[in-house]
Chains A and B, each alone.
Chain A
Amino acid sequence: MGPVTGARMVVEALEREGVRHVFGYPGGAIMPVYDALPGSSLQHILVRHEQAAALAADAYGRVTGQPGVCIATSGPGATNLVTGIANAFLDSAPLVAITGQVATPLIGTDAFQEVDIFGITLPIVKHSFVVRRTEDIPQVFADAFHIARSGRPGPVLIDLPKDVGMKAALPAEPRVPEEEPSAPDAALIEQANRLIAQARAPILYFGGGIAIARAERALREFAARSGIPSVATLKGLGGIPTDDEGFLGMLGMHGLRAANIAIDQCDLLICVGARFDDRATGKPDTFAPNAEVIHLDGDPAEVGKLRRADVGIAGNIEILLDALDAVPDAAVWRQRCLRQKKMWAPAYDAPGNGVYAPALLKRLSEAAPENTIFTCDVGQHQMWVAQHCRFSRPQAHLTSAGLGTMGYGIPAGIGALLADPSATVITVSGDGSIMMNVQELATLRRYRLPLKILLLDNAQLGMVRQWQELFFDENFSEIDLSDNPDFAEVARAFGIEAFTIDHRSEVEGAVARLLRTPGPILCHARIDPRENVWPLVPPNKANVEMLEKAR
C-alpha cells in the first residue's frame, strides 16, 4: 500500500473499529476529514449544533457499549463539544471526540479559530491526544477506542491539526492493546460473604456501574438467591427491573421514602457500581449510619473515596457478584422493607382536571412496548421519569445524571434511535430544557428518525421555582417562561407532527397517538406550574428527613 492522507487514515481507523455512525458538523480545520468521508462505510449524521453531536454520541455509546463518535472543527466547533464531553465524563459513557485543529505551524499563534481544546478538556476526558505525525494516526485511534471503552469508560479527545490530516504517509498496522483479565481476591470475597451471612438487615445499593459492566444478570441472580432488598441510583434504574418485588425504588434526594428508610435502618450496605454521590447520600454522615459496607466497583479509585468500606473490592463486577454466594437470615427484614414500600407507594389521584405529569408518565410507560428507551432532559420531568416510569434494563433509561445537562434529551434520542433502530425511543423534556437543543428537530426531520417527544410544559423553570418556593422564601427569581413559543407550532415548522393537550381526559388519546405514529411526533402537554417533585430531601438534611406531598 502506498502513502495515504491522514484524513483517509482517520476514516479507515473508524471503519476498523466497526463504527457505523458519526455525529458531526464540518468547518475549516476539519475539512480534510470531511473530504475523505464520502465513499466510506460511515454514515455521518449532520446535527445543527456541535453540542448535540457530542450528546448524541454519548447516548449512542451508552446503548451500544461501544464508543460513540463526534466530530467538530477547531475553535467554536470544538468548544461547543465541551458540554457533551463533560456529560460523558461524569456519566462514564464511552465517547471518542475528534476535533480539527489549526495547522501545526499556527498552533500557539492565536490563529483564526484556534483554541487549546486539549487544554480546555483536560479535566473532563479520560485521555486525550494531539496528533503530531500523520503516521501516528492509526495507533492513536486504536488507543483512543480502547481507552474509551475499557475499564471505567469515558471520553477520549483526538485533536487533529489540519496539516496532519492533509499530509500523506505510509500507515502502520496498529497494535491492539490486550485486555488484562482480573481474578477476584479470594480473601476479600470470603470477608464479604461472611458479612452477608451475618447480616440481619442488608440492603443492595446499585448504580451505573451495572450498565457499564453489563452485569444485570449477575446482579439479578445475586438479589434473587440472597433475598436482599435493593435500591438504585438514578443511573442504576433498570439494573433490577423496577417492578421487581424486592426492588424498593430510587434512593436519595428524590428517591422513594421506603428506599431511604431501608438505607437508614440497614446493618449491611452492599454498594455495587455506585459511588456515594451526594444526590444519593444526602448528608454523608447520616447515610446508612449503622451499616457495615461492602463496596464493589470497576474503578479502584471509587472504592473508599467518600465512604470507608469494611470490604472494598475493585474488579469485574459480574465476576465479583457471582462469587458472593452467602445467604443472610433476613426474611423478617425483607418483609419490613416490603411493607414500607407499599405504605409509601406514589399516589396518582391528584385533584383537578389538568394533566398530572406523574400519572401521564406512568400511563405512557405502561403502554410503551418492552423495547422502549426513555431519554430525558434535566429538571422536574427528569425526576418524574425516574420515579414513575418502569425500566427493565439499564439501557432503557438515558439520563444526564452526573452533569445534569439541560438539552440532553433530543440529541440522546437521536443517538439511541441510531444505536438501536428496533427500539421505541421516547424523549421526555421540559419547556426549559427543550429550548437548549430545539434545533435538533431539524435532524429528526432530515433522517426521518421516529422519535416520540413528550414535552411537559409548566411555563417555568420548574425545579428552580420549586427550590425558590421551598428554600428561598418564595423569592421567585428569573424562572418565568410564560412567553414560551407555541411548541406545537415550532415542531410543525420543523416538519414534525405535533399536538397539544391540556386536560386529563386527553391523556389516553395522547399516549395512543404518540405510540402509534410511525414518524417523529411531539406531544405538548401543559401541566400545573405549581406542581412540585415529591418526595424531596432538603439540602443538608438526612435522607430520612425527606418532605412528602400532603396526602
Chain B
Amino acid sequence: MTGRIHVDFDATEGALLRLVGLVERRGFTVGGLAMHAADGRGALSLDIAARDPGRRLEVVAAQLRRLVEVRNVAILPPEPGAP
C-alpha cells in the first residue's frame, strides 16, 4: 500500500524525528519528504509505502494523531511517480 500523508504539527524539538521515526517503525518506507516550518508550526508531507500488505495507511495515520505535537493528519492520493 502506498500513499501520501500530510501532517500539521507543532515544530517543537525532535518533532520531525518523532514523526518520521514512527512511520518507519510502524512498517512503512519513506520515499519522499517535504517539510516547511515557521513560527513554531510545521507541515510535513510524506510519500510512504508499506513494507508488507498487512499495513494500512489509516492505522499509521491514527498512530501519528496520538503524538502530542500533531495537530492534523490527512491521507492524500500519492503523487504521480512517487514510490
Contacts and interface: CB of A to CB of B under 8 A. Distances in A.
Interface of A: 118-119, 122-123, 126-130, 132, 147, 152, 299-301, 304-305
A300 B68 contact: no
A304 B59 contact: yes
Nearest to B66: A301
B68 A299 contact: no
A366 B24 CA distance: 48
Contacts of B14: 118-119, 122, 128, 130
Nearest to A305: B59
A122 B17 contact: yes
A130 B18 contact: no
A147 B68 contact: yes
A2 to B, nearest CB: 29
A299 B18 contact: no
6 contacts: A127-B68, A130-B14, A132-B13, A147-B68, A301-B59, A301-B63
A123 B25 contact: yes
Contacts of A127: 67-68
Contacts, number: 34
A130 B63 contact: no
A390 to B, nearest CB: 35
Contacts of B18: 122
Given A122-B17, A122-B21, A130-B13, A299 B66 contact: yes
Contact of B21 (A123, A299, A301): A123
Contacts of A132: 13
B68 A126 contact: yes
Contacts of B6: none
Interface string B39-74: 000000000000000000011001101111000000
B13 to A, nearest CB: 6
Contacts of A301: 59, 62-63, 65-66
B9 to A, nearest CB: 13
B25 to A, nearest CB: 6
Contacts of A118: 13-14
A304 B58 CA distance: 9
Interface string B1-39: 000000000000110011001100100000000000000
Contacts of B65: 300-301
Given A123-B22, A152-B66, A305-B62, 14 more contacts: A118-B13, A118-B14, A119-B14, A119-B17, A122-B17, A123-B21, A123-B25, A126-B68, A129-B13, A130-B13, A130-B14, A299-B66, A301-B65, A305-B59
B28 to A, nearest CB: 14
A301 B21 CA distance: 17
A119 B17 CA distance: 8
A301 B62 CA distance: 5
B11 to A, nearest CB: 14
B71 to A, nearest CB: 15
A30 B68 CA distance: 26
Contacts of A300: 62, 65-66
A126 B66 CA distance: 9
B70 to A, nearest CB: 11
B17 to A, nearest CB: 6
A130 B67 CA distance: 16
B73 to A, nearest CB: 11
A16 B67 CA distance: 25
Contacts of A305: 59, 62
Contacts of A299: 66
Contacts of B62: 300-301, 305
B55 to A, nearest CB: 11
A122 B58 CA distance: 22
Contacts of B63: 301
B15 to A, nearest CB: 10
Contacts of A130: 13-14
A299 B59 CA distance: 12
Nearest to A154: B66
B7 to A, nearest CB: 14
A526 to B, nearest CB: 43
A300 B62 CA distance: 7
Which A-B residue pairs are the 9 nearest by beta carbons?
Answer: A301-B62, A127-B68, A301-B63, A301-B66, A305-B59, A130-B13, A122-B21, A300-B62, A122-B18
Residue of B17, B62, B63 with most partner-chain A CB within 10 A: B62
Contacts of A126: 68
Contacts of A147: 68
A394 to B, nearest CB: 23
Contacts of B59: 301, 304-305
A82 to B, nearest CB: 16
A123 B71 CA distance: 19
A261 B65 CA distance: 36
Nearest to B60: A301
Contacts of A123: 21-22, 25
A299 B63 CA distance: 10
Contacts of A304: 58-59
B16 to A, nearest CB: 11
A304 B59 CA distance: 8
Contacts of A122: 14, 17-18, 21
A277 to B, nearest CB: 15
A123 B18 CA distance: 8
A533 B72 CA distance: 47
Contacts of B25: 123
Nearest to A126: B68
Nearest to A156: B68
Nearest to A143: B68
Contacts of A152: 66
Contacts of B22: 123
